Amino acid sequence: MPFSMYQAAAPGILQTLKAVDGVLSKAEAYATEKKVDPTVLLNYRLAPDMFALTRQVQLVTDFAKSTMARLAGQEVPKYEDTEKTIPELKARIAKVTAYVQGFKASDLDGSETRDVTLPIGGQPMTFKGQDYLVNFALPNFYFHATAAYSILRHCGVSIGKRDFLARA
């Protein structure tokens, strides 16, 4: 069976967007229950040189939409990074989820050898589609999802592996 770029990308991206949305819901409930200002959670970072939770979630959604668009040979939609609340972040996730759901297998399959060029550190870098997906886009997507999960877990939100995997 040939390698399916769509199957390698879309299902995992959609599952993880659902997971990040879910842990944000639990963070919102935690903040209410513990009487913690949600901005404390949103501005928390694991290390001084790491992004805070808000930026981690924005990057999760950025990698989701840009991965799909680039592999399909489409322009990457640009979203302003203005979210300041958990509901605003959840709305961004919903918007990106709908965008990703709009792709069909035929949009991505066959993109394994397509040139994908993007700016990295201000310089254009070109990958072949499969290399871009497997060695750049998905590792970055999952890194930022893991960082968001880890921030909330570190802050005391009761989440576990099932929450990260968005499984029942």
Which contiguous run of DSSP H or E holds residue 93?
helix 86-101
The angle, 0 to 180 degrees and rounded to 10, between the axes of the packed helices 5-34 and 138-154 is 20
Residue 35: left (phi > 0), alpha (psi -120 to 50), or beta?
left
Q: What is the model's pLDDT at position 123?
A: 95
Residue 140, judged by CB atoms within 10 A of its CB (0-12, 13-18, 19+), counts as middle
Q: What confidence tier does 168 reach under pLDDT thresholds 50, 70, 90?
A: very low
Residue 143, judged by CB atoms within 10 A of its CB (0-12, 13-18, 19+), counts as middle
Place of tokens 């570190």: 154
At 75, list the tokens.
Answer: 């322009």
Residue 35 above 90 pLDDT? yes
What value, to the nearest 5°, has the Cα angle with vertex 149 and ends 164 and 79? 100
Nearest alpha-carbon partner for 77 in 65, 68, 94: 65
Q: What is the model's pLDDT at position 167?
A: 67
CATH of the domain at 46: 1.20.120.450
Nearest alpha-carbon partner for 162 in 2, 26, 10: 26
Q: What is the model's pLDDT at position 2?
A: 72
Mean per-residue pLDDT, 20-34: 97
Tens of pLDDT along 63-82?
Answer: 999 999 999 999 999 999 99
Q: What confidence tier does 160 reach under pLDDT thresholds 50, 70, 90?
A: very high
Tens of pLDDT along 88-141?
Answer: 999 999 999 999 999 999 999 999 999 999 999 999 999 999 999 999 999 999
Q: What is the model's pLDDT at position 44?
A: 98
Q: What is the model's pLDDT at position 1?
A: 55
Average pLDDT over the chain, rounded to whole? 96
Number of domains in the chain: 1
Residue 3 above 80 pLDDT? no
Range of the domain at 100: 5-165
